[in-house]
Amino acid sequence: MKPYRLLFALCVCLLNGALLCAQDSATPQGRVFVNFVSASHVAVSPGHSVPIQFTFHVQDPYHINSSQPLTEELIPTQLHFSLPGEVALGKMQYPAGKLMSFPFDPSTKLSVYSGDFIVRGVVVAPSVASAGTYTIHGELKYQACDNNACYPPKKLPFTFNVKVGSAGRATQKARPTATSPHIHN
């Protein structure tokens, strides 16, 4: 073997070993349970409203409680928003949870989200809203489990844009975007 190749192999081994060690020390707190996939960005005229939908993805093998878990102790999935005065959001419509039982308690059904789920709502621009693009900050609160354990409640922040047009212009849909740093409580 040429010395360069030997050196290259040595470097790769060293880096791999170090990265593995570093991963060992990583805690599940850095683990991602849910991703924000997209929000349908909308353009809305003052005095009008348009539908909006938010898509999230629950990573395999986890599940999270639906917005209406079947027992009061369980923590429901909820969306919260910080809204600028120029835009309001109508009541969110959460999907129904899948009724599933898990190996830790096969006799009990839980109402959960797994895989993709979509929350729908309506964006409203008051008639006095000023034209412009507004970035809205949202936060998904959820609590995840897998087949063997549960994880502390988490918050998933995300942002999306709403364009408020000039009064009298028709509304139109814009392309979706997604940004979502994952943090904890």
Partner 1 sequence: MNRNVIFILCVVVAITGLLLIGKRGAKPPESANAAGAGNSQAASAPAQGAGDPTKGSVAPTFELKSIPDGKAIPLASLRGKAVLLNFWATWCGPCKIEMPWLVDLQKKYGPQGLQIVGVAMDDTEDKEIADFAHKMGVNYIVLKGTEKVGDLYGGVDRLPLTYYIDRSGKVVDETVGLASESVIEDAIKKALQQGN
Give me the residues that bind partner 1 (CB under 8 A), please: 3-4, 7, 10-11, 14-15, 17-19, 21-22, 24-25, 27-29, 73-75, 102, 104-105, 108, 110, 143, 145, 148-153, 185
Q: How far is the CB of 119 from partner 1 (least distance, A)?
A: 21
Q: Smallest gap, in angstroms, from Cβ of residue 147 to partner 1?
A: 9
Query: Measured from the CB of residue 58, what is the shortest distance to partner 1 in angstroms?
Result: 16
Distance in Å, CB of 59 to partner 1, minimum: 15
Of residues 101 and 177, the one with the C-beta less far from partner 1:
101
Choose between 25 and 127: whose C-beta lies nearer to partner 1: 25
Nearer to partner 1 by Cβ, of 75 and 122: the residue is 75
Residue with Cβ nearer partner 1 (34 or 164): 34
Label each residue of the chain as H, E or C. Answer: CCHHHHHHHHHHHHHHHHHHHHHHCCCHHHCCCEEEEEECCEEECCCCEEEEEEEEEECCCCEEECCCCCCCCCCCCEEEEECCCCCEECCCECCCCEEEEECCEEEEEEEEECEEEEEEEEEECCCCCCCEEEEEEEEEEECEECCCCECCCEEEEEEEEEEECCCCCCCEECCCECECCCEEC
